[in-house]
Amino acid sequence: MNPAHDKKNLVKLGIDMSDVDFIIALAGNPNTGKSTVFNSLTGLRQHTGNWPGKTVGRTEGAFSYIGHKYKIVDLPGTYSLLSTSADEEIARDFILFGRPDVTVIVADATRIERNLNLTLQVLEITDRAVLCLNLIDEARRHNINVDHIKLSEILGIPVVPTAARQKEGIPELLETIHKVATGEIKCNPYRVNTDFRSVAPAVEKLENKIKSLFPDLPNTRWIALRLLEGDQKIIDAVRSGDIGKLISEEIEG
Ligand SMILES: Nc1nc2c(ncn2[C@@H]2O[C@H](COP(=O)(O)OP(=O)(O)OP(=O)(O)O)[C@@H](O)[C@H]2O)c(=O)[nH]1
Ligand SMILES: [Mg+2]
């Protein structure tokens, strides 16, 4: 057992980490069934539904599986990790700084193309992820057939088809989460190629600078790429030092 999460940062983000072996995040576009998956894994009854079921902020729950204690965090629905809204920031900060042991991306099987945008963004940050291909019953009804095996090969992470409302596929999802958390399944995530010769030196230079300013910041490469893209929120956070706050407070305290 070798947890990959950043306990210090998770505590800073407000997560109670006592009695936890592994931490799981549930991310995904709005209305893909994240809270329904959360409920079926934890036995809790988070409110679900189109409206007013929308999840705001985070919700935590827990479950045990084969002797391990899991904490699972239901994140607000978001189309992107390139934050423009408070909800998107909550999801991004949790994945970026908390570094969950497994990030489960809940996707709508009837809108797979649109959902892959967030999936690829999550795979830029972490290499421990599972794609939960939810609403597979709806896809079937519309004669949409997603080749989940092929998709898994391309993405380099496990893909589990589910119909969470009917609890279909949930045991398989649980088993897969467990295998990724414990390292039994090793992911090899698809990464959009950013190693172009023309930008590589710039990325490296920026990354080194960020590392020297904020030595404990994880995912400095991701931050460097956002700076080069001109992501204003990240630029502001680096300029003001806010991006390192989470960590520097810990060092000072
Ligand atoms: N047919 C079908 N409906 C589902 C499935 N999973 C969830 N739903 C329904 O889809 C709606 C949205 O589900 P939620 O679990 O609230 O979705 P969410 O992703 O948490 O939504 P946000 O928090 O707003 O992002 C609810 O009416 C669920 O009952 C599924 O597998 N099949
Ligand atoms: Mg929800």
CATH of the domain at 68: 3.40.50.300
Instruction: Point out the domain boundary residue: 133, 153, 182.
Output: 182
Instruction: Give the DSSP letter of residue 31.
Output: T
Q: Note whether 206 and 117 are same-domain residues.
A: no
Q: What would the two tokens of residue 168 be? A: 């279909």
Question: Which of 26, 29, 35 most suits a substitution to test ligand 1, by most atoms within 8 Å of the C-beta?
Answer: 35
Instruction: State if residue 78 touches ligand 1 by the CB under 6 angstroms criterion.
Output: no
Q: Note whether 171 and 224 are same-domain residues.
A: no
In a domain, 4, yes or no: no
Phi and psi at 69, nearest 5°, equal: -100, 125
Alpha helices per DSSP H over 142-199: 148-155, 170-182
In this predicted model, which residue has the larger pLDDT, 212 or 90? 212
Domain assignment of residue 108, given as a range: 22-182
**What is the average pLDDT value for the chain, to the nearest integer?**
87
Q: Note whether 174 and 209 are same-domain residues.
A: no
Q: Note whether 150 and 55 are same-domain residues.
A: yes
In a domain, 16, yes or no: no
Instruction: Point out the domain boundary residue: 157, 182, 207.
Output: 182
Q: Note whether 30 and 135 are same-domain residues.
A: yes
Q: What's the confidence (pLDDT) of residue 194?
A: 66
Instruction: State if residue 57 touches ligand 1 by the CB under 6 angstroms criterion.
Output: no
- Tell whether the model's pLDDT for residue 93 goes beyond 90: no
Instruction: State if residue 77 touches ligand 1 by the CB under 6 angstroms criterion.
Output: yes
- Tell whether the model's pLDDT for residue 251 goes beyond 60: no
Mean pLDDT computed over 232-249: 75
253 pLDDT band, cuts 50/70/90, is very low
Q: Looking at ligand 1, which atom is closest to the CA of residue 48? A: 16
- Tell whether the model's pLDDT for residue 57 goes beyond 80: no
Phi and psi at 85, nearest 5°, equal: -125, 165
Instruction: State if residue 111 touches ligand 1 by the CB under 6 angstroms criterion.
Output: no
In a domain, 13, yes or no: no
- Tell whether the model's pLDDT for residue 199 goes beyond 80: yes
- What is d(CA 247, CA 241) in angstroms, rounded to the nearest whole number? 11
- What is d(CA 133, CA 157) in angstroms, rounded to the nearest whole number? 12
Q: Where do we find the tokens 């290499």?
A: 127
Q: Looking at ligand 1, which atom is closest to the CA of residue 138? A: 1
In a domain, 97, yes or no: yes
Give the residue whose CA is nearest to atom 4 of ligand 1: 165
Instruction: State if residue 137 touches ligand 1 by the CB under 6 angstroms criterion.
Output: yes
Instruction: Point out the domain boundary residue: 182, 209, 231.
Output: 182
In a domain, 234, yes or no: yes
Q: Note whether 168 and 134 are same-domain residues.
A: yes
Q: Note whether 26 and 101 are same-domain residues.
A: yes
Mean pLDDT computed over 108-113: 96
Alpha helices per DSSP H over 18-169: 34-42, 86-93, 112-125, 136-141, 148-155
In a domain, 203, yes or no: yes
Q: Which ligand is nearest to the CA of 37?
A: 1
Mean pLDDT computed over 152-170: 97
d(CA 37, ligand 1 centre) in Å: 8
Number of domains in the chain: 2
Q: What's the confidence (pLDDT) of residue 116?
A: 94
Mean pLDDT computed over 219-226: 86
Q: Note whether 110 and 233 are same-domain residues.
A: no
In a domain, 17, yes or no: no
- What is d(CA 149, CA 60) in angstroms, rounded to the nearest whole number? 30
- Of 130, 139, 89, nearest to 111 (Cα)? 139
User: How large a percentage of the chain has pLDDT more than 70?
Assistant: 89
Q: Note whether 169 and 238 are same-domain residues.
A: no
Instruction: State if residue 138 touches ligand 1 by the CB under 6 angstroms criterion.
Output: yes
- The gap between the terminal CA atoms of the chain, to the nearest Å, is 30
